[in-house]
Amino acid sequence: TAGITQAPTSQILAAGRSMTLRCTQDMRHNAMYWYRQDLGLGLRLIHYSNTAGTTGKGEVPDGYSVSRANTDDFPLTLASAVPSQTSVYFCASSLTADNTGELFFGEGSRLTVL
């Protein structure tokens, strides 16, 4: 079972360029999340989606946008990348929207903005 697949695994991006991180899950989970992980900090929620067709802002949404056109896909877009967006990005999903269950994480996308 694939679980959650993220692409690309890593990317170097010039500041000012746009980038979409892809996330696909095959577990038919209702809720999906995008986190960033930076050294010395806990995982920080960027955006989330409780169900297909809906999205919400997390703790650090500025500079990022998401869409949830269907259950399986939850892409994260950086419209104009800045160096402070250098991070490891994790997509995650859970069966229910109220976080009553565990999160399943993708393998992460390491993004470097120069």
Partner 1 sequence: GQNIDQPTEMTATEGAIVQINCTYQTSGFNGLFWYQQHAGEAPTFLSYNVLDGLEEKGRFSSFLSRSKGYSYLLLKELQMKDSASYLCAVRDSNYQLIWGAGTKLIIKP
> What is the per-residue binding string for partner 1 in 23-52, x denoting contact by CB under 8 A?
-----------------xxxxxx-------
Distance (Å, rounded) from C-alpha 69 to C-alpha 88? 24
Distance (Å, rounded) from C-alpha 42 to C-alpha 49? 20
Distance (Å, rounded) from C-alpha 110 to C-alpha 11? 6
Q: Tell me whether residue 40 or residue 62 sits nearer to partner 1 (CB atom).
A: 40
Nearest approach, Cβ of residue 95 and partner 1 (Å): 12
Nearest approach, Cβ of residue 90 and partner 1 (Å): 6
Cβ atoms within 10 Å of 5's Cβ, excluding its own: 14
Nearest approach, Cβ of residue 98 and partner 1 (Å): 5
Report strand pairing: 87-94 vs 31-37.
antiparallel
Distance (Å, rounded) from C-alpha 53 to C-alpha 17? 27
> What is the per-residue binding string for partner 1 in 67-106, x denoting contact by CB under 8 A?
-----------------------x-------xxx-xxxxx
- 66 binds partner 1, rule: CB under 8 A: no
* Binding-site ranges for partner 1 (CB under 8 A): 40-45, 90, 98-100, 102-108
